[in-house]
Amino acid sequence: MTSGNPFLEGLVVLMPADRARWSFPFGLRISGIAEGGAGFKLGPVRAGEYLIAAIDRDDGPQGMPEEKYYARIAAVADRITLVESEEQVLQLRLRKLP
């Protein structure tokens, strides 16, 4: 799949926007298939600033240092703000890691 394709299958990564909080495990990793546009539900998640990206299952860390891998994800991720008890609908696109 190429960068920018509609996200149908892969890994959704949600991680803190604050780089100081990028210690393993950094947050949620949810995988699965979005069927018929139903999408994914993440939660429960604490309120705060996050980075979110949909990446190909093959874009795993493959032995690289954790911080370098997180930086690759951050480079393509979207920044979102989650508020307590709020639901958000996001249109994710598959991103290729640099």
Residues 11-61 pLDDT 10s: 888 889 999 888 766 655 655 545 555 566 666 778 899 999 888 878 877
The answer on pLDDT for 79 being more than 90 is yes
CB burial of residue 93 (10 Å; 0-12, 13-18, 19+):
middle
Q: What is the mean pLDDT of residues 60-74?
A: 83
Answer whether residue 81 is part of any domain. yes
State how many domains the chain has: 1
CA 48/CA 65 separation, integer angstroms? 26
Answer whether residue 4 is part of any domain. no
Answer whether residue 18 is part of any domain. yes
The pTM is what? 0.76
Residue span of the structural domain in which 75 resides: 9-95
Answer whether residue 3 is part of any domain. no
- Residue 9's pLDDT band, with cuts at 50, 70 and 90, is low
DSSP 84: T
Residue with more model confidence, 75 or 86: 75
Q: Specify the 3-state DSSP secondary structure of 11.
A: strand
Residue with more model confidence, 8 or 92: 92
Answer whether residue 1 is part of any domain. no
The answer on pLDDT for 1 being more than 50 is no
